[in-house]
Structure 1
Amino acid sequence: MSFLSRVQLRSGRYSLLGFACLAMLLAAGTVSRAQSIELPTPRAATNAALHYQRAVLYLGMVDPEQRALLEQPIWQTINPKSTDEDLAKLSELLIASRQAIRSALVGAEQLEADFGLDMRQYVLSSQLPHAEGMKQIGRLVALQGLQQQSAGEWKLAAETYLAGLRMGRQMTHQTTLAEAMAGVEILENMYFAISQWAVRCPDTALVDDVSHILDAMANDMVNPARTMGFEAGISKARLAAMESAYPDGPWAEMILEALGAEVPAAGSEELRQAAIAAAVKRGVPESTFATVDAFKSYMDNLRTTYAELARESAICLTLDPPHSIKCGAEVYAKYADKLPETERLSALNPARVASLFALHQAELDMLRQVLAASALKTDDGFPASADAIQARLGNKPLTSPFDGSEYEYEQLEDGRGMSLKIGKATVGGIELPEFKFRYVEAK
């Protein structure tokens, strides 16, 4: 039925009002055809993890021989002994990986990263395929910044490094310890790269900007207690899943996965025997598998012990690094003989976890001092003493997070260089290495 017919049926005759409306519609149509319709521009997903996962996939398309450069920290990839051939290989890698770099940098622009970890799956398998991939992406981004820096793109390099810091921080804020440790390694690569950038950058105002940005980010880089709290929940969920899977579910596979033992390609009975043998080898009483009640009782006790270990560990990790390590060593000694000897138990050793975060803190503190010294550089070179650096950092003592000893700062070559050092220490039975930074400008 036409528009005019509908007007006639309603009024019994053609309406002047109807014609007026028609004329207006036709006129409007004429105007609209003279304009162009703009479709919305597709926006990047706000979940950084989607971009990071795409970056990992892009990187997987790169020749494995080229990717071999990403299997070690960047200070081993690029060093004073690097040859022209090594640098040429690096350039080839960066060109081949350009799509991965772009995706990673888009991810670093987002506020949140949710990798969609499914706890129901994670309690069955402790593998996190994106954790190792993210470490390689972090190294790739750092190497991209180093190349930009070598080309004199100082501001662009700084922006790339800061993107890497955001990426590392997003990983340390994930649910599992493995993801957090991947994030710490990304951060450490960026700290190294930024320190090399800072002492060479000719624009001290730009160095000053980066220094202030890092100061704003520093308190939220890692959260050890939060990470251990999540791990406690994961351990409890995994043990509960094992308990509910016994005796007719996939408990054997779950035990082998949890123990880090090989899962044989065998029938169900062989799989069960392999799981029992692996558990007994690591201190689980063989009687645990005699009945459903015995298995349930052992798992209940194990779950309670893990919960207590995690609770006390989280308390330790709220302390400053040296006290955190000492406290963690005491807690671990208290519970270690009550739990099976597994790789996961070793990873959850609060003294070990605290020492890893202490190493991170040492590297972060050293970077902040390198940035401060570089921002204070004048025509006469780097500061003559640590006093100016300390004043710029709020007059806080420059002390080691290991044992509270002072950092050793020295001006080198009449201001053309500088060095920073903290000595090695042993805290809570854990040896912490010496940290050194040294730079002298070439004549």
Structure 2
Amino acid sequence: MKILLVEDSATLRHAMSQYVLDAGHTPLLAESGEQALQLLEDTPVDMIIMDVEMPGLNGFETTALIREWLGSHWIPIIFVTGMSDDDDYRQGIEAGGDDYLIKPVSKMIITAKIRAMERIADMRDQLNRLNGELEALSQLDSLTQVLNRRTFNEQAEQQWLLAGRKQTPTCALMIDVDHFKLYNDHYGHPAGDVCLKQVTDAIKSCLHRPFDLLGRYGGEEFVVLLPETDAQGAERVCQCIKKAVAQLDIEHQMSPVERRVTVSIGVAGCAHPRGYSLENVIKSADRALYRAKHTGRNRHVVDEMTAHRTVVIAHSQDAVLQEASSCLRPLYNLITAENSEEALELALNIRPDLLILCPELQDDQGHYLADTLASLPRTGDIPQVYLGHVTESPPEPRPSVALPLDCTELSKMAAQLLGG
């Protein structure tokens, strides 16, 4: 260990320095509290033996400054002093000392104290290692050992903010193992776990940069964030992933796609991240994955994010539907629905960025469509706006635009809800 000796007496510095050397450690010497603080700025130490009575900063004052500077990093500090009153002990403990020796200090006592503090420091280091391992485990999915959803979102958010500042292209991939439920039902859950681990390794083999992020998003679904990557680069990663999974050659007799395990991939490419959120890009990748799955699977679909975000308008009056569409079509990727069933299917499958609804639309169970969509996990976070007044018992209040329709008001409301 490196042990800092802070002592204004040259004789005592020499004696204690020899004690430290004889105990097998390295002494570092300081004649005053000020000198000790200067030394600690550039030199890490494992322990401090501190004289209390010194000119300038005394030992208590120096220790208090050291503790404040080190923060949560703890190193043992032993006071050496000629003062033995109870109040002196109290001051020493309050200043941050860990032990208190009365002069003169024998070689045997100082060696024993160093050994005791060394054991405590070793226990601290072991505890820190265990805490670090526990923290690492809490960030990983227990089966696949890639980032769990919470940690992926946290780390991806940091990468996304950096991409926004640098204005570098960034892509997100949503990856789904095709017909995995059929695989589990036929081969059993233990085989399914092995399959997911193998697919995870195949995906990892295609991610070569330390800042590429891979997480398990739930079940058989994985998510990847590729910073500093355009859509063409993301397509190359997709080709690599599909090839790597194919080379696993995992039998899947129940798959209507192929007789081996395959994956579908949705890609969201964002050339200019500023103005979008991480949630925007993941939702876009999710929509692309939906298209990949519903156009045959075992393929990838790329969605280039532009300023046109997706808006679903559902209204019972055709004239209102057409007028609202003409207002917003130049600004957004617009999809219309004439009834509740169609609107519900679109919202669940496409997950638009905004829902504009007739407030009186009801689902097939007689519930207001707006409340149904707000209660579902897949659509509950999609912002809603009403188009027209509520004439019956109103559902939960939401932003609304009155009829007859004012295009400026509707466009402004949509821009506010979409953050644009």
Normalized against structure 2, the TM-score is what? 0.26
> Relative contact order (C-alpha < 8 Å, sep 6+): which is higher?
1
* Greater helix proportion: 1
* Greater strand proportion: 2
Normalized against structure 1, the TM-score is what? 0.25
Q: Based on CA coordinates, which of the two structures has the bigger radius of gyration?
A: 2
